[in-house]
A and B are shown apart, each in its own frame.
Chain A
Amino acid sequence: MTSSSPAAPRGRERRKRDSRVGDKIFMNAARGSGILLLVIMAAIAGFLTWRSGIALSKNEGNFLTTFEWTPDAPKPVFGIAVLAFGTIVSALIAMAIAVPVAIGIALFISHYAPRKIAQPFAYLVDLLAAVPSVVYGLWGALFLVPHLDGLTSWLNDYLGWTYIFDQSRAGTTPRNLFTVGILLAIMILPIITAVSREVFRQVPRMHEEAALALGATRWEMIRTAVLPFGRPGIISASMLGLGRALGETIAVAIVLSSNNVLSLHLLDPGGGTFAQNIALKFNEAQPFGRDALMASGLVLFVITLLVNGAARLIVARRKEYSGANA
């Protein structure tokens, strides 16, 4: 094979050697990127832990159960109870609203809309992701909040008995965790939609046609072929959205009327989130106050890691049952 011409082996060898060098470079570059990511994560975690250690050692309150946030007072007292509650509740409200709607939009784009509409529509949704969050915040404060007055009073009147929808003072401006949840839902919608849409597009044509051939209606086909196949993708997409909702800063800071009261009355102004608290307190904080804020940042970091880890676990388990391996 190699003796057909004298020039060929040398040429081929050189090509082989070149490709080996290329392989090496690429492998090392990829490995380097991977290591770099780990180093960055470790650096963030290390930095946060170090600074929080300084703050926590001098905290006179209980970091986990205290409501106040006054690290710069003569007796530094600060805790994350209100912040953790607000962060998780607002993110959950956002997920409850955004996930079903996003799946609906994604299915519409991938399976219902005529091709002519689907493409521009998909761009439009992607465009939502490009709006800076400060713009969402201003829009939320100036437009959304006044326009949620009606919904808030309706919820208070008819669902007030559920306790969580009971307003302590009827008619207060709805700058509350519920409104924040709605705003966050709008903000995370494009991410969840975009990822789900791409996953739904990957559903093997054979599965869909098989379902239809068995006499399934379009909805039954989606339920039996598309959704099971897309489930890990939907979960991944939701986790991306949840990550954004947990960490959203400036929009929450603008819209929410924050205070250090932990209340299950979601329609009462009050509460707070980690990121919002950091944004509001950082500018005027003393060095010690900044360390305290770092400590709250560390908690958010850990919560996010846990959430992402849980999502990976779910996705890994689901993979076996879904059609993805077919």
Chain B
Amino acid sequence: MKLQRNGRSKALAIGAMALVSSLSLAACGSDNNNDTKASGGSSGGSSAAAINCGKSGTLLASGSTAQGNAMDVWKTNFGAACSGSTINYGGGGSGTGVQQFNQGKVQFAGSDSALKPAEVEDSKKVCTGGQGIDLPMVGGLISLIYNIEGVDNLVLDGPTAAKIFDSQITKWNDPAIVALNPGAKLPDADIQAFHRSDDSGTTENLTKYFAKTSGGAWSYPAAKAWAGKGGQSAKESAGVSAQVKQVKNSISYAELSYAQTNNLKSAAINTGAAKPIEATAVNAANTFAKAKVAGTGSDLALTLDYATKDEGSYPLVLVTYEIVCDKGNKADTLDTVKAFLTYAASDAGQKAIGDTGYVPLPKELTDKVNAIIPTLA
């Protein structure tokens, strides 16, 4: 990445890069690491008994950084219970994960989005007699975090949020926001909207939601790269959270754990249900419970209903997948893969990541996943 470095700074550059990459890996995930370790340790003992280790071995996996902290928790607990097995999950992003999976370098990949048709075709080369399938494993929730003095219960809806992030609404006392928040003391101040400067699955999910629910106010296709007009940007969820904390009259989006650890308020969303929906894990799980399976066969790619009007269903959610072969997994690691995924999809596994700011998937969904895992071959 650094193309020219001179003299003494060359050694520094290498050191800095090492530091940077370790820092940014840590920062990419959904939670801060201290929390992860704490809960990993505490839940390790209780869940250890429930883990069926299978044949011991070393698993290589890589992909989505959004589920990096979930993986940390799982591999700590799994490793504690099954001393012979180690899981190496390299972050590096969903794109890298899928690429490495299709090159046969890793046994499974973590991805923010389901495999695309071309990627499924590619996977057939690695999965002899089968193909790559998506198993939903890690649920998340995107909070619209804000910092407005004197406003504690901000309510937004799809079109308004989309217009705020696209600079079509620029003042907090805009009639559209006032209409959603009767009685709130909204200041006559410029909205400081922050988005991610790096490409991110969080941005992709937010813009998918906008595309579905904004009634045309969001005119860009959903993508990992930010497309909206105006606003400011910051690097990674940690960066935008820090900006919202620092800057008055600001708003941004990040996964729930960042709202919690930074003590930031999250806007409730008016979906058309009787009451605005608060951004809580329970409300997100309700949305997951009603998600439809779009994949065929053993592929469990989900279609999330962003436009849901059900009571208590928070619409702005995301799910990340583990990608494995349905048939044609490597024989020597298959048993370990199954054991690890079984643990991850178990109640204990889901509860463990729920403590670190993820959304435990509801039983309706984990039952489907648990039905697939034993059939892997």
Binding site for B on A (CB under 8 A): 44, 69-70, 72-73, 129-130, 132-134, 141-142, 146, 169, 171-173, 175, 191, 240, 243-244, 246-247, 249-250, 253-254, 256-259, 269, 275, 278-287, 289, 297, 300-301, 304, 308
- A175-B232 in contact (CB<8A): yes
Task: Return the contact of A284 from the options B5, B15, B94 (Cβ within 8 A).
Answer: B94
Which of B145-153, B190-198, B357-365 lies at the interface with chain A?
Answer: B190-198
- B197-A253 in contact (CB<8A): yes
Query: With A191-B7, A253-B197 in contact, is A284–B2 under 8 Å at CB?
Result: no
Q: Does B178 contact A (CB under 8 A)?
A: no
Nearest CB of B to A83, in Å: 13
Which of B239-247, B257-265, B280-288 lies at the interface with chain A?
Answer: B239-247
- A287-B99 in contact (CB<8A): yes
Which of B16-24, B289-297, B306-314, B330-338 lies at the interface with chain A?
Answer: B16-24
- B15-A132 in contact (CB<8A): yes
- B1-A191 in contact (CB<8A): no
Q: Does B233 contact A (CB under 8 A)?
A: yes
- B223-A297 in contact (CB<8A): no
Task: Return the contact of B93 from the options A146, A249, A284 (Cβ within 8 A).
Answer: A284
Task: Return the contact of A249 from the options B2, B6, B92 (Cβ within 8 A).
Answer: B2
- A134-B23 in contact (CB<8A): yes
Nearest CB of B to A285, in Å: 6
State the majority secondary structure of interface residues on A: helix
Q: Does B216 contact A (CB under 8 A)?
A: no
Query: With A132-B16, A134-B20 in contact, is A257–B93 under 8 Å at CB?
Result: no
- B239-A285 in contact (CB<8A): no
> What are the interface flags for B170-202 relative to A under an 8 Å C-beta threshold, 1 for contact and 0 otherwise?
000000000000000000001010100111110
Task: Return the contact of A243 from the options B6, B192, B232, B233 (Cβ within 8 A).
Answer: B6
Residue on B nearest A252 in the bound complex, by CB: B235
Task: Return the contact of A129 from the options B8, B190, B246 (Cβ within 8 A).
Answer: B8
A281 partner residues in chain B, CB cutoff 8 A: 198-199, 225
Most buried by B among A129, A191, A249: A249
Query: With A134-B16, A284-B198 in contact, is A278–B1 under 8 Å at CB?
Result: yes
Q: Rank and list the top 4 A-B pairs by shortest CB-CB distance, nearest first.
A: A284-B199, A280-B198, A257-B232, A132-B16
What are 12 residue pairs bridging A and B, where the CB atoms are less than 8 Å apart in the complex? A72-B224, A73-B225, A129-B8, A133-B13, A173-B246, A244-B4, A247-B4, A259-B197, A282-B1, A283-B96, A284-B198, A301-B4
Residue on B nearest A283 in the bound complex, by CB: B93
A301 partner residues in chain B, CB cutoff 8 A: 3-4
Distance in angstroms between the alpha carbons of A133 and B21 in the assembled complex: 12
Nearest CB of B to A61, in Å: 14
Nearest CB of B to A131, in Å: 8
Q: Does B115 contact A (CB under 8 A)?
A: no
Q: Which of B191-225 contact A (CB under 8 A)?
A: 192, 194, 197-201, 221, 223-225
Query: With A191-B9, A254-B235 in contact, is A300–B3 under 8 Å at CB?
Result: yes
B242 partner residues in chain A, CB cutoff 8 A: 141-142
Task: Return the contact of B3 from the options A70, A134, A172, A304 (Cβ within 8 A).
Answer: A304
Residue on B nearest A73 in the bound complex, by CB: B223
Distance in angstroms between the alpha carbons of A82 and B191 in the assembled complex: 25
Residue on A nearest B234 in the bound complex, by CB: A257
Distance in angstroms between the alpha carbons of A259 and B230 in the assembled complex: 8
Query: With A134-B23, A257-B232, A284-B224 in contact, is A247–B192 under 8 Å at CB?
Result: no
- B192-A297 in contact (CB<8A): no
Q: Does B65 contact A (CB under 8 A)?
A: yes
B4 partner residues in chain A, CB cutoff 8 A: 243-244, 246-247, 301, 304, 308
Q: Does B12 contact A (CB under 8 A)?
A: yes
- A191-B6 in contact (CB<8A): yes
Nearest CB of B to A300, in Å: 5
A254 partner residues in chain B, CB cutoff 8 A: 235, 239
Q: Does B57 contact A (CB under 8 A)?
A: no
Q: Does B135 contact A (CB under 8 A)?
A: no
| Additional 20 contacts, C-beta under 8 A, given A134-B20, A243-B6, A244-B6 | A130-B12, A132-B15, A132-B16, A133-B16, A142-B242, A171-B190, A173-B232, A191-B6, A240-B6, A243-B4, A249-B20, A250-B16, A257-B234, A280-B198, A283-B95, A284-B224, A285-B199, A286-B95, A300-B3, A304-B4
Distance in angstroms between the alpha carbons of A70 and B228 in the assembled complex: 13
A146 partner residues in chain B, CB cutoff 8 A: 246
- A247-B2 in contact (CB<8A): yes
Distance in angstroms between the alpha carbons of A84 and B91 in the assembled complex: 30
Q: Which of B79-109 contact A (CB under 8 A)?
A: 91-96, 99
Nearest CB of A to B301, in Å: 18
- B16-A283 in contact (CB<8A): no
